[in-house]
Amino acid sequence: MNTSYLVTIMQTPDRHRLEVLRNARLEVDGTGRIASIEVADSDACADVILPPTTVLIPGLVDTHIHAPQWPQLGTGLDLPLETWLFEHTFPLEARLTQPEFASEVWPDMVATLLAHGTTTAVYYATTSVETTTMLASACVDAGQRALVGRVAMDHPDGTPSWYRDEHAAAGIAASAQSIEEIAALESPLVEPIITPRFTPACTDELLAGLGELAGEMGVRVQTHCSESDWEHGYAFDRFGESDTAALDGFGLVRDHSVMAHGDHLGDEDMAVLAARGAGVAHCPLSNAYFANAVFPARRALDAGVRVGLGTDIAGGAQPGLLSQCSDAVTMSRLLEDGVDGGRASEDRGVSNSRISITDAFWMATLGGADLLGLDVGLLEVGRHFDAVAVDTARLGSALRVWPGVDDDARAFEKIIRLATPPDIAHVWVGGRRVAGWAESEDR
């Protein structure tokens, strides 16, 4: 059965363009896909009629989340990446291999992310097949679209003895089993993703085995790539080439592969990613703490690299993707202008680096969808109805659109910079209402 909606839509069909559709009548079919969108006359009816002060945007696509870091969100960001991993992160992740703890954490995290408008999430789970499958189930139960990866890591130098795959063959077998268990859930929402943590945590044998597995099973890949000075330099020391070139040699840079961070990618690395159809999960807030550099988002986009946005929970200290949009814009301004006022302005920054708010929102929606190869990120016929309804007139909210003051472009900018969960009235994934404070019986 179809459901119809009467709404105002704001979205970015390309990264330079804000599209506003007022009084749009949108019809969703029984499979949760958009069957039609047309601009209606003023007396049109629909099953769901949103107030004119509510704006429908495409659901947000968070391309990089570490699920077992959820309990440490907001903390522990004062150490360099390699120390933070060993002192804070691996001990917590190891605890999330316990089903009992995972059964508390996963539903709490998924519900919170949905309330922030994250309709698609790309997760690193744990090394445990069991708690990884539990995460996939938690997404299915809550109605979140997700790619869920069992974390593969076996390198004796890059991992602690108490949180690693026993050896490469065990890591490859566990990753294959995880793929099968997630596929066996038979949910249209959830898919597996092959997840070698990053090169310092993986032996050559594991990386090569997972590259082969990706080819054989036709499953996407995610990993970290040239995130920090340390990780970038590590690859040259170990492989004699860049992280991207090494990962490519192992067959891990593929169509829709998600490389997290990529702050130190060179032009050649970007060319490899573009040629393979791979791309970057740009995590601007996390990068400020761990990456030692700002990711050159505009240079990557201009080079034809796919780019989505990511929170990098808990390397980034905020749960929602809208705040990453503003952070992406802010960081791009710092990159362009430079940061040391003691230098002459002309040699302080990297010119032509700034991105706009439409670029950022595009990355958070259609850019992420394109990176992953999922039919989401835009409200258009044939795509899944994954959408977020934002109230722009809530008393007490910083997000207020003032009639006669704010035009569409400013209203859009306000939504991105100021909307928080109390402003999010409804969240739909695949046509099912899954979050939002408003009564669901408003039809």
Of all residues in the shown chain, the one whose CB is closest to Fe ion is 312
CA-to-CA separations, 442 to 3, 28, 143, in angstroms, rounded: 13, 17, 20
Per CB under 5 A, which region of 42-50, 308-316, 338-346, 433-441 contacts Fe ion? 308-316
- DSSP H helical ranges for 143-227: 168-184, 204-217
To ligand GUN, the closest distance from the beta carbon of 268 in angstroms equals 22
Distance CA 8, CA 286 (A): 33
Out of 5, 163, 250, 290, the only residue in the binding site for ligand GUN (CB under 6 A) is 290
CA-to-CA separations, 435 to 246, 315, 331, 363, 403, in angstroms, rounded: 41, 25, 30, 22, 28
CA-to-CA separations, 311 to 64, 125, 283, 436, in angstroms, rounded: 6, 15, 6, 20
Out of 231, 312, 370, 386, the only residue in the binding site for Fe ion (CB under 5 A) is 312
Our finding on whether 318 is near ligand GUN (CB under 6 A) is no
Q: Which one-letter amino acid corresponds to residue 144?
A: Q
Distance CA 99, CA 411 (A): 44
Our finding on whether 308 is near ligand GUN (CB under 6 A) is no
To ligand GUN, the closest distance from the beta carbon of 155 in angstroms equals 11
Q: Which has the closest alpha carbon to 124: 56, 50, 55, 175?
A: 175
Per CB under 5 A, which region of 77-85, 195-203, 306-314, 432-440 contacts Fe ion? 306-314
Our finding on whether 286 is near ligand GUN (CB under 6 A) is yes
To ligand GUN, the closest distance from the beta carbon of 318 in angstroms equals 14
Residue 256 gets the label, from left (phi > 0), alpha (psi -120 to 50) or beta, of left
To Fe ion, the closest distance from the beta carbon of 315 in angstroms equals 5
Identify which of residues 15 and 66 has a Cβ nearer to ligand GUN in the complex: 66
Q: Which one-letter amino acid corresponds to residue 316?
A: G
Identify which of residues 58 and 315 has a Cβ nearer to ligand GUN in the complex: 315
Per CB under 6 A, which region of 81-89, 96-104, 107-115, 345-353 contacts ligand GUN? 81-89
Helix (H) or strand (E) holding 372: helix 368-372
Distance CA 15, CA 249 (A): 32
Our finding on whether 282 is near ligand GUN (CB under 6 A) is no
Identify which of residues 257 and 392 has a Cβ nearer to ligand GUN in the complex: 257
Distance CA 294, CA 130 (A): 36
Of all residues in the shown chain, the one whose CB is closest to ligand GUN is 315
Our finding on whether 62 is near Fe ion (CB under 5 A) is no
Could you say which residues in the range 229-258 bind ligand GUN, by CB under 6 A? Answer: none
Token digits for 415? 């939504």
To Fe ion, the closest distance from the beta carbon of 225 in angstroms equals 10
Instruction: Tell me which of Fe ion, ligand GUN, none is bound by residue 336, counting a contact when its beta carbon lies within the kind-specific cut-off of 5 to 8 angstroms.
Output: none
Our finding on whether 159 is near ligand GUN (CB under 6 A) is no
Token digits for 155? 């390198």
Distance CA 363, CA 368 (A): 6
Identify which of residues 113 and 387 has a Cβ nearer to ligand GUN in the complex: 113
Our finding on whether 89 is near ligand GUN (CB under 6 A) is yes
Contact residues for 259 (Cβ-Cβ < 8 A; gap 6+) = 222, 223, 224, 225, 226, 244, 247, 253, 273, 278, 279, 280, 281
To ligand GUN, the closest distance from the beta carbon of 328 in angstroms equals 16
Instruction: Tell me which of Fe ion, ligand GUN, none is bound by residue 227, counting a contact when its beta carbon lies within the kind-specific cut-off of 5 to 8 angstroms.
Output: ligand GUN
What is the x/- site pattern for ligand GUN, positions 28-67, by CB under 6 A? --------------------------------------x-
The footprint of ligand GUN (CB under 6 A) covers 66, 81, 85, 89, 197-198, 224, 227, 286, 290, 312, 315
The footprint of Fe ion (CB under 5 A) covers 260, 312
